[in-house]
């Protein structure tokens, strides 16, 4: 049995490259197609050219070429997998060669985070980056919060780590197309502290569960309609996970899930949130799901506590 987790990459026998998108794989590895060999591709690895596929294009390709692998994500049978790429392996390969990666690693190591708890995902993991590629930096488990604090501290001091300027925030906002205003988006994002610039390159600090944190998956429920409501967050330990999980105090809803990275880390424990999403019934439990489509319309999470504190409401 192949052991993988969120943000690993895998390579099939056809040299298709997928990003693992889940911790749980009941019948094949749940993932999303990212790169396919193509003579006209704009990226190159080991003498072979590749084309990067965005989400919708990847699904079109898979429906045409491997329709039996298409569900809500792509499910790759284990017998078709040639290699699994762990984000931690990219640290060993890039440290000392990529100045930007080296600088981030050095900052985190000074805070007591071992390299085994770090990783690089995205295009740098298989070696298919280009000049415009961001750095998707992974930290595993509870060490992620230590790393986030270290990056926040580094942004306030002279050095290679800097905060994001307003032009970059606008680019991120326009890319994500959230259902909240730009000002509210930036207010929430700046508090999260997991984005920055290193030597002029944008990077994101991504949470992935440690192996000990991976438990049995929640079963899929039945969609019963939509809801807009307010609730108090009682636990946000996995607010930066994918999906983000917020345990809430509410008459009907047990917890809120967000499948879009836009609302990861959107609220802290003890805060009141406004959320609109799809109600999912699982036995006696209801959860409220945000991000039910690639660019979810009419779905959001806002921290009313944060907005009130900063004078937005």
Take residue 258 and report the two structure tokens written for it.
Answer: 């967000």
Contact 263, 301 (CB under 8 A): yes
The phi-psi region of residue 86 (left if phi > 0; otherwise alpha if psi is between -120 and 50; otherwise beta) is: beta
DSSP state letter for 110: H
Percent share of the chain, pLDDT over 90: 91
Ranges of the chain with pLDDT below 50: none
Q: Which CATH class is domain 87-211?
A: alpha beta
Q: Closest Cα partner for 34 from 124, 113, 149?
A: 124
Measured distance CA(226)–CA(279) in Å, rounded: 5
| pLDDT for position 78 | 96
Q: Which CATH class is domain 217-309?
A: mainly beta
pLDDT in tens, 57-83: 999 999 999 999 999 899 999 999 999
Q: Where are the domains of the chain?
A: 9-85, 87-211, 217-309
Provide the whole-model pTM: 0.94
First to last CA, the chain: 52
From residue 250, give the alpha-carbon distance in Å to each of 223, 254, 274.
Answer: 18, 7, 12
Q: Judge whether 87-211 and 217-309 match in fold.
A: no
Q: What is the pLDDT of residue 292?
A: 78
pLDDT of residue 294: 66
């Amino acid at each position: 049995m192949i052991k993988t987790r969120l943000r690993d990459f895998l390579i099939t026998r056809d040299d298709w490259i997928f990003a693992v998108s889940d911790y749980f794989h009941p019948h094949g590895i749940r993932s999303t197609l990212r790169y396919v060999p193509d003579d006209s591709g704009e990226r190159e690895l080991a003498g072979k050219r590749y084309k990067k596929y965005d989400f919708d294009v990847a699904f079109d390709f898979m429906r045409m070429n491997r329709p039996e692998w298409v569900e809500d994500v792509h499910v790759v049978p284990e017998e078709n997998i040639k290699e699994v790429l762990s984000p931690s392996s990219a640290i060993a390969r890039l440290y000392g060669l990529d100045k930007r990666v080296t600088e981030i690693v050095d900052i985190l190591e000074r805070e007591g985070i071992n390299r085994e708890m770090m990783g690089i995902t995205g295009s740098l993991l298989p070696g298919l980056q280009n000049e415009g590629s961001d750095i998707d930096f992974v930290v595993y488990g509870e060490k992620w919060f230590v790393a986030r604090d270290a990056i926040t501290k580094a942004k306030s001091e002279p050095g290679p780590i800097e905060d994001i300027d307003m032009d970059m925030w606008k680019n991120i906002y326009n890319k994500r197309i959230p259902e909240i205003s730009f000002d509210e988006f930036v207010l929430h994002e700046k508090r999260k502290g997991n984005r920055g610039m290193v030597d002029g390159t944008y990077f994101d600090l991504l949470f992935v569960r440690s192996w000990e944190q991976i438990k049995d998956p929640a079963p899929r429920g039945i969609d019963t309609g939509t809801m807009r409501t307010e609730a108090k967050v009682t636990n946000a330990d996995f607010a930066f996970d994918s999906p983000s999980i917020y345990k809430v105090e509410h008459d009907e809803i047990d917890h809120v899930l967000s499948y879009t990275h836009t609302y990861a880390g959107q609220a802290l424990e003890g805060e009141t949130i406004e959320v609109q999403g799809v109600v999912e019934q699982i036995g006696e439990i209801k959860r409220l799901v945000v991000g039910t489509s690639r660019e979810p319309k009419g779905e959001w999470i806002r921290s009313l506590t944060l907005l009130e504190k900063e004078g937005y409401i």
